[in-house]
Structure 1
Amino acid sequence: MDIKTLYDANINNITIAKNAYDALYSAFGQHIESWQHDVVDRLGHSEWTGTAAGHANTRIQFLSTELQAAKQELGLISKALADAAEGIAAAQSHLISALDDAKNNKMTVSPDGGLTWDKDPNSPNYAGDKAEATAKEISKRITAALNEADHTDQTINARLGHLATNATNGTGLDAATAKADQTAADALSQVPAAGTDPNSVKAWWNGLTDAQQQHMIQTEHDKVGALDGIPATARHQANLINLQQGKADLQRQLDGLGPEPKKMLSVAETNGGPVENPDYTAWKKKRDELEDKKHGIESIESRLQKKDPPAFLLGFDTNGHGHAIIAVNNPDTANNVSTYVPGTGARLGDSLRSDIERSDLMVASADKANQKAGDPSTTSSITWVGYDAPQSIIPEAADDTYAKNAEDKLHSFELGLHATHEGKIDNNTVLAHSYGTTTVGYTMRDKGLPVDNVVLIASPGAGVEHARDLGIDPSHVYAAQSDGDSIGWADAADPKGMAKNIRDYYAEIWGVGNYYTGVDANGVHVGGVDTDNHMIHGRQTTVPEFGAHILPTNPKGDHSDYWNDNSPTLPAMGEVIAGKPIS
């Protein structure tokens, strides 16, 4: 599609053709009614019997079915032409708007879309000192309009081509074919149900014109924003609407709480000592939950305002503790894509800010690894708070139900990344922290994940006994756990087991006890207590028996220190995400 073709497109001619098919559809329907009344009904009421009559009736009924199928197909042509007019008109409008802005900014647009302007400050046609930035923005809009028109053209051409083929070879007279075509056309106006295979979702989305896609984003944003298989840019647009509506709803709930009840009940009111007012307790609990979600929204808004690198909101809702999926850089175009799954405490709340920051840090770390190797590849890291994570260490984090309930969601999300990616993802990683590793491990064990690498940071167990049980090459399974991380005390069996882990921890610090030395994946000597620990959710991922590559850590690092500036784990994570050897 070029500028002249789109600019000169006569939308009225498409509409005239559509109206002509409407007239043909109506006339054809009247002919069918006449056929039914004058032939079928009359023959049915006749007294003609015998073999010939039987053959004639069979053929006539068959012909009636063919006529109805043909009528359906004619109606589908009319609908396709209507969608074509709408789609091309929208693209043409966007192009004209961009061209008008170019003219108003004293710029000339060449037939191939290039922009030129007068750069002489003394000239009456001087375009201004910001002309270059303005030209870049207008050029993007022109390209987007041409792509929009091209997509509409290809989409409608495919639909009309299919119907034309049906008419040419006679398959359009088949009732089953016509029904299938009608079902497919009807499906274009209906968002696929949650849980639909992401590849099917992507095929549905591609079958819509850009105008139809925008209509879906505006009217079905709650569904589109949550649907795996929808491209990142479209999900982002839909979820921006969801974000604003969620924010407004939270404020309405806060306003509806009413004034703060008095905090304490008096001695006279309780016939005893002063106690906290139950009404205040309930009021404060609800207010704190709503305020926490607002803080989560503020974290998202703050990150979205930062343009370099850009962020995309791939999921958002305030249900339960709330959910959010934020990608740093576009995962559909990045060479390397990583999904970060946080653990206990993950929600739409205060904790979200640090989770998003970790994705930023991992993108920067991967970029450094690429730059060091002279590799121009790009990276996207996605903070995936798309599940209901446990909110307390005891008792919730000891319950694997949260991980089990997340399996379908995480599996579908990862399939969706592949469905929408422009070409094949060069290096796909899932990286998790704490209980997030349990969620990832359970999903890989029970559903499988289409990833190249898995990184398990500070894991209480991934639900498997060995790295190979995660369903990918164990040489691409990585784990890290600092000696100072208290997660190592979380034994699976009983208090005696926890005491044993604590004893082993101090034995390693003091260099006593049954101490082993080994070599990690890069030939670096490492040491630890020779104990085949089993954590609360499975074998410890950093013991030799598990079989993972061990990433370097700060020996004194705590449970959340792996992303600190001085942590050797962060550069190693970046190298895995970038597909580079660990240095």
Structure 2
Amino acid sequence: MDYATLKAFKPSEYEDAADGYRSMGNVAQAAKDRVENTVAAGMRKTLQGDAAEAAQKQLQALTKNFHYIQTECGVISTALNGFAYDMAAAKRKLDTAIGDAQGCTVNPDGSVTFPAGQKPGDEKVADGGTVTGSAGGSPTSDAVERQAANIHPNPNYGKAMGYANRIADAVREATDADTKWAPKIQALKADDDLTVSARDWTDVTSDTGGVRDAADAYLDTIKPPPKNDLPQDNANWWNGLSEEQRAAYVSMHPASIGALDGLPSAVRDDANRMVLAEARGAAQVEYDTWLKKHPEPTRHTDYINPMTGTIMKGVKVDSVAWKEWEEARKSAHKSIDGMDAIQNRFDQTGTKGLPEAYLLGFSTEGDGRAILANGNPDTADHQSVYVPGTTAELGKIEGDINRSVNVWRSADDNADGESVSSITWLGYDAPDSVPKDAPFEHYAYDGAPALNRFLDGLETSHTGDTAPHRTVISHSYGTTLVGAAAQAGDLNADDVVFAGSPGVKVSGAEEMDVPKGHVWNEEAEGDVVPDLGRYGHGGDGFRIPSDEQFGANQMTTDTEGHSGYWDEGSTSLENQALVVVGKGEDVALKPPPNPLTSEEVLRSK
């Protein structure tokens, strides 16, 4: 970078280019959404067969391409704005130095020519001259220059040197910015094929990190989100940003934006899908590396008859080495399974009328987090939030997603034309084991504040004319968390449904922060978990929602065991759906237990 280049530099040209890339990213996003939620979804409704499946795969690949373009355009836009910001700062310093150099001439190479001059008391007029500045002066060099200026017979020498040094400083600052940004911007290019691979997404992660580090000065001009994490404050912050600032923050901090309760669901979904795509790419690369380091051993081995100790001809079994390898392989692939389950739900949009999905939270930290909505909760008349229990984690989230899908289908059938959004909320670290972890309450109390913030955020981001009807559905240890959330603060819900609860940390339905008569419970035949909670806590005042004294509405169930409450076509599921759409009066309830006669009481003794 030299004086002439900096003098001619126009930051606005790079800012305009940044706007162009941002617009291109918006176009790619719109194309992605149209392909995924209109074209592909429409085909799923009407077409079947091998050709339709092949077309769906091509559309999925096209969607990934558009998503990649959208994400990279956001990174490029931020990079160009960051470069323009740094260069504009240097340009302002240069322009100010040139403007201040009155009476002197700034030459094309950045040197400064000063006119002849005479100091007071001197007899002679000293000749003018030309000086070239130096950047980054030290206290010592500055002192030497001041001494030289005092000694020099021309009073204009010192001024000219000052202007020349300021010019040199500006050029040095621009050179540093150019040196910093050149490799970052040059790295923003895709490979020369049409396939968006896992390594392409890991490259996006690298690009984003590089630009984020380089653009720190530019990003510091954008006010960060509030630290208190209150949904309404988050919404106010977002609404106060310009379109450019929003785009920059999403491109550089997608995980942060995706986690902010109170922001529009479409914004969180967009940010979290970026995080998901990059995480999926990184996980695939890591898994491929694992496979290379752990080649598959021979699977089949001869079967030895344990009675005779002889090899049975023609009979093969899985070897011990292969079984151990397969177990380790499944563990290495677990996070990918969870991420693919989320993508699967995206790809199901339109199937049997299933609405668009919104990814409202995502993280691979620990056991992983995921919050997925069927339908846009911001516009829904009815919202349901399902909280899973023990062993819930990202790698196993497919079952929890399917439960919310079933809730949506049944609720939509009963909604009389009103809109429904059903949400799977895996926003906490669930216990990993029933005997080892589930007895501990800290999982519930650690996760309760996050659930309360999320529920408050649903209210903040809702845009309908009237407030939505909100139901919290929980299963197993998830019911314990919901009870803890009711204790920790106002549970922002109109109805609460418990299923297979081992206990909810409160002594009665009246403590659940919902209107009287709006606490519902299901306990199926063969579900041992309520009994584990009932007898495990003894007489410490800890009640189970299945107990009559708790005061919950005991709903009829026709499923068996601990995990069947969401079986398609079941009364257990239908009852939940009726609560979700505000039709509690139509719920089938279990008859109250018959009181014992005095004779039966005596016999029982």
TM range (shorter): 0.5 to 0.7
| Alignment-mate amino acid for residue 250 of structure 1 | A
Per the TM alignment, residue 582 of structure 1 is displaced from its structure 2 partner at its CA by: 3.8
Match of 2:400 in 1: 355
SS class of match (2:428):
coil
Per the TM alignment, residue 307 of structure 1 is displaced from its structure 2 partner at its CA by: 2.2
The partner residue of 2:544 within 540, 546, 549 is 540
Match of 1:459 in 2: 501
**Does the Cα contact within 8 Å between 1:534 and 1:540 map onto a contact in 2?**
no
The partner residue of 2:265 within 227, 232, 238 is 232
Q: Any residues of structure 2 matched to 1:374-385 within 5 Å, and which?
A: 376-385=417-426
CA distance in 2, matches of 1:233, 1:93: 15
CA distance in 1, matches of 2:25, 2:365: 39
Per the TM alignment, residue 368 of structure 1 is displaced from its structure 2 partner at its CA by: 1.6
Q: Which moved more, 1:206-215 or 1:380-389?
A: 206-215
Point out where structure 1 has 5 or more consecutive residues left out of the alignment: 1-78, 99-184, 264-278, 498-532
**Does the Cα contact within 8 Å between 1:481 and 1:542 map onto a contact in 2?**
yes
| Alignment-mate amino acid for residue 291 of structure 1 | H
CA distance in 2, matches of 1:442, 1:347: 20
Q: Which moved more, 1:315-324 or 1:250-259?
A: 250-259
- In structure 2, do the counterparts of structure 1 residues 87 and 259 end up closer, same or farther at CA, with 3 Å as the change threshold? closer
| Alignment-mate amino acid for residue 289 of structure 1 | S
CA distance in 2, matches of 1:290, 1:229: 35
Per the TM alignment, residue 564 of structure 1 is displaced from its structure 2 partner at its CA by: 1.2
Match of 1:469 in 2: 511
**Does the Cα contact within 8 Å between 1:337 and 1:381 map onto a contact in 2?**
yes
Q: Any residues of structure 2 matched to 1:48-67 within 5 Å, and which?
A: none
Q: Does 1:450 align with 2:492?
A: yes
SS class of match (1:340):
strand
The partner residue of 1:321 within 367, 380, 401 is 367
Give identity over the alignment, percent.
33
Match of 1:295 in 2: 337
Match of 1:551 in 2: 555
SS class of match (2:517):
helix
SS class of match (1:292):
helix
Per the TM alignment, residue 484 of structure 1 is displaced from its structure 2 partner at its CA by: 2.1
Taking structure 1 as the reference length, the TM-score comes to 0.56
Match of 1:369 in 2: 414
**Does the Cα contact within 8 Å between 1:239 and 1:314 map onto a contact in 2?**
yes
- In structure 2, do the counterparts of structure 1 residues 92 and 438 end up closer, same or farther at CA, with 3 Å as the change threshold? closer
Provide, for residues 427-471 of structure 1, a one-character-per-residue CA deviation record: whole Å limited to 9, x for no partner: 011110111111111111122211111111111101011011122
| Alignment-mate amino acid for residue 241 of structure 1 | M
Provide, for residues 156-181 of structure 1, a one-character-per-residue CA deviation record: whole Å limited to 9, x for no partner: xxxxxxxxxxxxxxxxxxxxxxxxxx
CA distance in 2, matches of 1:413, 1:381: 14
Per the TM alignment, residue 331 of structure 1 is displaced from its structure 2 partner at its CA by: 0.7
Match of 1:55 in 2: none
**Does the Cα contact within 8 Å between 1:87 and 1:209 map onto a contact in 2?**
no
- In structure 2, do the counterparts of structure 1 residues 256 and 367 end up closer, same or farther at CA, with 3 Å as the change threshold? same
Q: Does 1:259 align with 2:332?
A: no
CA distance in 2, matches of 1:262, 1:303: 34
Per the TM alignment, residue 228 of structure 1 is displaced from its structure 2 partner at its CA by: 1.1
Q: Any residues of structure 2 matched to 1:403-442 within 5 Å, and which?
A: 403-423=444-464, 424-442=466-484
**Does the Cα contact within 8 Å between 2:226 and 2:234 map onto a contact in 1?**
no
**Does the Cα contact within 8 Å between 1:198 and 1:412 map onto a contact in 2?**
yes
The partner residue of 2:583 within 559, 580, 583 is 580
Structure 1 or 2, whichever has the larger Rg, is: 2
**Does the Cα contact within 8 Å between 1:562 and 1:569 map onto a contact in 2?**
yes
CA distance in 1, matches of 2:359, 2:449: 20
Match of 1:223 in 2: 256
Provide, for residues 198-243 of structure 1, a one-character-per-residue CA deviation record: whole Å limited to 9, x for no partner: 1011011111233332222211111111111221111111111111
Match of 1:401 in 2: 442
CA distance in 1, matches of 2:450, 2:413: 31
CA distance in 2, matches of 1:89, 1:284: 45
| Alignment-mate amino acid for residue 409 of structure 1 | A
Provide, for residues 383-406 of structure 1, a one-character-per-residue CA deviation record: whole Å limited to 9, x for no partner: 001111012111111111111110
Q: Does 1:334 align with 2:380?
A: yes
Provide, for residues 507-550 of structure 1, a one-character-per-residue CA deviation record: whole Å limited to 9, x for no partner: xxxxxxxxxxxxxxxxxxxxxxxxxx889xx3110221100111
- In structure 2, do the counterparts of structure 1 residues 91 and 245 end up closer, same or farther at CA, with 3 Å as the change threshold? closer
Question: What is the count of residue pairs matched by the alignment?
Answer: 362
CA distance in 2, matches of 1:83, 1:197: 33
Q: Does 1:571 align with 2:604?
A: no
Taking structure 2 as the reference length, the TM-score comes to 0.54
Match of 2:232 in 1: 199
SS class of match (2:560):
coil
CA distance in 2, matches of 1:325, 1:331: 12
CA-atom RMSD in angstroms = 3.6
| Alignment-mate amino acid for residue 573 of structure 1 | Q
CA distance in 1, matches of 2:219, 2:26: 27
